[in-house]
Chain A
Amino acid sequence: MSVLLFLVPVALGLGGLGLAAFLWSVKNRQYNDMEGAARRILEGPD
């Protein structure tokens, strides 16, 4: 069972990475304008 001492924190850490990525994307306002993001991809760099 001592493997749990190692595996549980690893699992948590991986989950935490996902959480951190999500929080980063919220902070970066990536969900503020879903429609605009969809259109912007069609416009080339000007």
Chain B
Amino acid sequence: MSCCADPAVLANAARALPDTLAAAIRTDASGNHLLLYVPDIHCASCLATVEGALKEEGAEARVNLTRRTVSLDWTSPAFDPLRSIATLRDLGFTPRPLSTESAAAQSSSASLLRAVAVAGFAAMNVMLLSISVWSGADGSTKAFFNWFSALIAMPALAYSARPFLRSAFAALRAGRVNMDVPISLAIVLATGLSLAKTISGTGETYFDAAITLTFFLLLGRLADHWTRERARASVSHLAALRPPFAYVVGATSTEPVPIEDVGAGDIIEVAAGERVPADARVMEDGAQFDLSLATGESRPEAIHRGAEIMAGALALSGPHRLRVLRPAADSYVARLEALQSAAERSRSRPARIADRAAAFYVPVVHFAAFATFCVWLLVGAGWVAALTTAIAVLVITCPCALGLAVPVVHVAACDRLFRRGLAIKDGAALERLRLTDEVIFDKTGTLTIPALADPAAMAPADLAAAAALARHSTHPVSRAVSLAAEEAGVERIVAAGVTELRGRGMTGMIEGRAVFLGRGALPFGDAVAEGLVFAREGEAPIPLAVTESLRPGAADLVARLAAAGLPVTILSGDTAEAVGRTAEALGIADWHAGLTPDEKVSFIDGRRIAGAHPLMVGDGLNDGPAIAAAAASIAPAEASDLSRTAADLVLTGNSLDAVWTALDTAWRAHRMVLQNLAFACLYNCVAVPLAALGHASPLVAAIAMSSSSMVVTLNALRLAR
């Protein structure tokens, strides 16, 4: 899209949707649907603003505050989704289209939930009837109850056991066995046998066992699904965080254009807080960018007109216009991304512990059931008795406890981590994390954050006033000021009418006088500040010096890691002097400075080849590849998109303490998984002989299965505390 196209052509170009967006739009009989991820919706009023604005454009908009998404539904061909994306951006939000797959994932959870509801309903009712039979109903009453159980259980099973049957069938067709094969076999055989017995009117039925089994296993499946869905949502959200659009300045307006279509020479607009999508030349003076990508220093830098800036730089002021130098695919970020995906491909993932347990368990169960059948036939029992006993073995060994053992622990662990300010990708990440035997840190932005050099030099009243302004901004330097005020324990005051002066700082009113925190020209008087200052109207500006200080919790964390016997290393792109100072402050002997992203990756690869499982904690864009290469990884919340996408866990709080929480939780979760698996084993050691000898009456089976499921679930819940 060039800036001199005639408006009619431009309008046409806008109608032909870019590929990324077209791929995200789902069309069916009820109209068109688009799911947007809008991470900055966080309150009831944003919710109302977004829905209101989109309604005016002619679409049905529904905000989901839990997932931070907006679903758009429209039927009119006149509706332009690009226009709504631009509208949301004008309101200060950053919408990104989500792929149709993540929209589809939401419906599969609903179908599992329905299956659980049906199975639960049927299980309760069948159990009620079965208890009457066990407690002595006989004759026509027993027949009536059995028939009624069949009537409830069979349709319910046909509906709710489908997830297991389908998966077992698919596995068998592919010539494999999985955990669902013995489950399906047990359900189908128990139901068939019970039906035969109901028709003939002899013996005991196992409808209750079949449906209770299905119910418990579905619960486990739902728990597993929730963990994975939460994880998948965060993964697809993180992937969506890559800016899919550049805002290209056209003849009449600024249009979102997919990054891959932006060519050299296009003029793009970058707002404060956005990343520069492609290597570009700055077209105006006074722009401020965070160039930590290139320098490893997270310090705002003023860029002058005509200077070149690399893709991935974070705009701290704006909006600014930039002229694109080369297509995004050739940019520095694209090269880093290629490096990262190469590292991800080469990372071998250990098989999930549940899969390994299943691989061992399935043949054993089948063999036990088959052996029971043969032995009973050999000792002269009839076909029916032999088959009944064999089915009892299958049902009672059926991995209720095993099917729940791992997912409930993972759900409890993820829940615990979420509540302590850690977002985790998936249950498998816990398994990788617990193998950690050394920890590698990035320095800038991870171990250290910007801080005021000498807060004591400021009068408490000035510090309090500066903090009152700083609390309104998330800029790293603002955070440093408000943190310094908190540490100094100065009085907390409130500034009125605080506004952000893009690229310069914050201004507001305190005690009836205008105040300013920032750099550049003051909004009152005619002074121009050198560096960062705090100023009151009518007084000389007070200079503030910013240095870097340790992130809260860093020293504690390193001490704890050392106490736990985990070696700690620093890999940094910063100078030897700066890294050495940090390493000394933390008591870390092993540090490497001045590394490029490639060198970080090869260092980690070296450690992995040596058999270690390094945990990488890093934030910068240049840490993305290293994070992908490490056995497990953690990124702070304010990390670059690339690092957050690659990391297993994201810290949402400020303190590094959470890294220890993550490791501790992973270790405890692993212990609990082992306990649960051991319990499942023990249970089988008792239950299998009982069933094989023919003592597993329906009552025994029901009690044994329910209690074993309860035990593993309750054990896992200990972790959530």
Residue numbers of A with Cβ under 8 A of B are 1, 4-5, 8, 11-12, 15-16, 18-19, 22-23, 26-27, 29, 31-36, 39-40, 42-43, 46
B141 near A: Cβ within 8 Å? yes
> Do B64 and A32 have beta carbons less than 8 Å apart?
yes
With beta carbons under 8 angstroms apart, the residue of B65, B110, B128 that contacts A36 is B65
B118 near A: Cβ within 8 Å? yes
Q: Which residues of A contact B110 (CB under 8 A)?
A: 26-27, 29
What is the CB-to-nearest-CB distance from A44 to chain B, in angstroms, rounded to a whole number? Answer: 10
Question: A33-B67, A36-B65 are contacts. A15–B141 as well, Cβ < 8 Å?
Answer: no
> Do B43 and A39 have beta carbons less than 8 Å apart?
yes
B524 near A: Cβ within 8 Å? no
> Do B117 and A4 have beta carbons less than 8 Å apart?
no
A1 to B141, CA, bound (A): 8
What is the CB-to-nearest-CB distance from B33 to chain A, in angstroms, rounded to a whole number? Answer: 13
> Do A43 and B48 have beta carbons less than 8 Å apart?
yes
Q: Which residues of A contact B48 (CB under 8 A)?
A: 43, 46
> Do B141 and A16 have beta carbons less than 8 Å apart?
no
> For A5, A11, A12, which residue has the most chain B Cβ atoms within 10 angstroms?
A12
What is the CB-to-nearest-CB distance from A9 to chain B, in angstroms, rounded to a whole number? Answer: 8
> Do A15 and B124 have beta carbons less than 8 Å apart?
yes
Q: Which residues of A contact B118 (CB under 8 A)?
A: 19, 23
B113 near A: Cβ within 8 Å? yes
What is the CB-to-nearest-CB distance from A46 to chain B, in angstroms, rounded to a whole number? Answer: 6
A42 to B106, CA, bound (A): 26
Question: A32-B106, A36-B63, A46-B52 are contacts. A19–B47 as well, Cβ < 8 Å?
Answer: no
> Do A34 and B44 have beta carbons less than 8 Å apart?
no
A17 to B106, CA, bound (A): 25
Q: Identify whether the interface residues of A are mostly helix, strand, loop, or mixed.
A: helix
Q: How many residues of B contact A (CB 8 A)?
A: 26
A39 to B121, CA, bound (A): 32
> Do A39 and B66 have beta carbons less than 8 Å apart?
no
Seed contacts A8-B129, A15-B124, A26-B110; 11 additional CB < 8 Å A-B pairs: A8-B148, A11-B128, A15-B125, A16-B121, A23-B118, A29-B110, A32-B64, A33-B63, A33-B67, A39-B43, A43-B48
Q: Which 7 A-B residue pairs are closest in the complex by CB-CB distance?
A: A36-B65, A39-B44, A33-B64, A35-B66, A19-B121, A35-B65, A33-B66
> Do A40 and B47 have beta carbons less than 8 Å apart?
yes
A8 to B126, CA, bound (A): 11
Question: A19-B118, A35-B66 are contacts. A12–B44 as well, Cβ < 8 Å?
Answer: no
> Do B47 and A39 have beta carbons less than 8 Å apart?
yes
B383 near A: Cβ within 8 Å? no
A4 to B148, CA, bound (A): 11
Q: Which residues of A contact B106 (CB under 8 A)?
A: 32
> Do A34 and B66 have beta carbons less than 8 Å apart?
yes
Task: Give the residue name and chain of the A residue nearest to B106 (CB).
Answer: A32
Q: Which residues of B contact A43 (CB under 8 A)?
A: 44-45, 47-48
Complex interface bits, B3-45 against A, C-beta within 8 A gives 1, otherwise 0: 0000000000000000000000000000000000000000111
A8 to B133, CA, bound (A): 14
Contact sample, A vs B, 5 pairs, CB 8 Å cutoff: A8-B129, A26-B110, A32-B64, A39-B47, A46-B52
B114 near A: Cβ within 8 Å? yes
Task: Give the residue name and chain of the B residue nearest to A46 (CB).
Answer: B48
What is the CB-to-nearest-CB distance from B35 to chain A, in angstroms, rounded to a whole number? Answer: 12
> Do A15 and B47 have beta carbons less than 8 Å apart?
no
What is the CB-to-nearest-CB distance from A33 to chain B, in angstroms, rounded to a whole number? Answer: 4
Complex interface bits, B149-166 against A, C-beta within 8 A gives 1, otherwise 0: 000100000000000000
Q: Which residues of A contact B418 (CB under 8 A)?
A: none
Q: Which residues of B contact A22 (CB under 8 A)?
A: 117
A30 to B605, CA, bound (A): 47
Question: A26-B113, A33-B67, A43-B44 are contacts. A12–B144 as well, Cβ < 8 Å?
Answer: no
A8 to B350, CA, bound (A): 52
What is the CB-to-nearest-CB distance from A8 to chain B, in angstroms, rounded to a whole number? Answer: 6
What is the CB-to-nearest-CB distance from B610 to chain A, in angstroms, rounded to a whole number? Answer: 45
Q: Which residues of A contact B152 (CB under 8 A)?
A: 12
Question: A4-B141, A4-B144, A34-B66 are contacts. A15–B44 as well, Cβ < 8 Å?
Answer: no
A4 to B132, CA, bound (A): 12
Q: Which residues of B contact A42 (CB under 8 A)?
A: 44
A43 to B65, CA, bound (A): 14
With beta carbons under 8 angstroms apart, the residue of A15, A26, A36 that contacts B66 is A36
A1 to B66, CA, bound (A): 52
With beta carbons under 8 angstroms apart, the residue of B63, B114, B121 that contacts A15 is B121
> Do A23 and B114 have beta carbons less than 8 Å apart?
yes
Q: Which residues of B contact A35 (CB under 8 A)?
A: 65-66
What is the CB-to-nearest-CB distance from B381 to chain A, in angstroms, rounded to a whole number? Answer: 35
A8 to B146, CA, bound (A): 13
Question: A39-B43, A43-B44, A46-B48 are contacts. A31–B113 as well, Cβ < 8 Å?
Answer: yes
A32 to B152, CA, bound (A): 29
